[in-house]
Amino acid sequence: MNTRLAYLRARQEFYEHMPRVKKVRVPAMCEGIKWSNVAVKHIFQHGPRENRKAAEGIPEKSKCKRMGYWHFKPLKNSYAREGTYCWTHLVYQGIHADMGEEKATRRWRDEHWDLWVEICNRRGLDPGPRVEGDN
């Protein structure tokens, strides 16, 4: 197996142990959004004040087409939304969605460093140096 893929699988296994992330038994469509396909008019009202048009809503073409294997439950005051996500959207719209989520994820990672080392050793990978805090 390619080394980058091996580290990806190790990271996936590591974050599955996080209390806010659960691997689902039956995958569902990812609830993530490809923001590069979303125009401002889909989110906000637009047009002249007297003819203001309502926001159109996020179009179907902007929704992720991959299967979601991880269910994510965000912190109470977070911009992230609860849902089932593919790996990419779990990382960027879930556990690293905003500063609060990022801080909680780093705190959990620092507290569970031994688990990361165990997973890497089991897979024959180098866990790398321990980095604590905001790096």
103: tokens are: 């801080």
Residue 17: pLDDT band with limits 50, 70, 90: very high
In the chain the first and final C-alpha atoms are separated, in Å, by: 29
Amino acid 98: pLDDT: 84
- pTM value > 0.95: no
Model confidence over 38-87: pLDDT tens digits?
Answer: 677 776 777 777 777 777 777 677 788 889 999 999 888 888 889 999 99
Helix axes 3-16, 113-123, angle to 10 degrees: 140
Q: State pLDDT tens for residues 109-124.
A: 999 999 999 999 999 9
| Alpha-helical runs (H) found in the chain | 3-16, 40-43, 87-90, 99-111, 113-123
20 within 8 A of 74, measured Cβ to Cβ: yes
Chain length of the chain: 135
Residue 135: what pLDDT? 46
Average pLDDT, the chain: 84
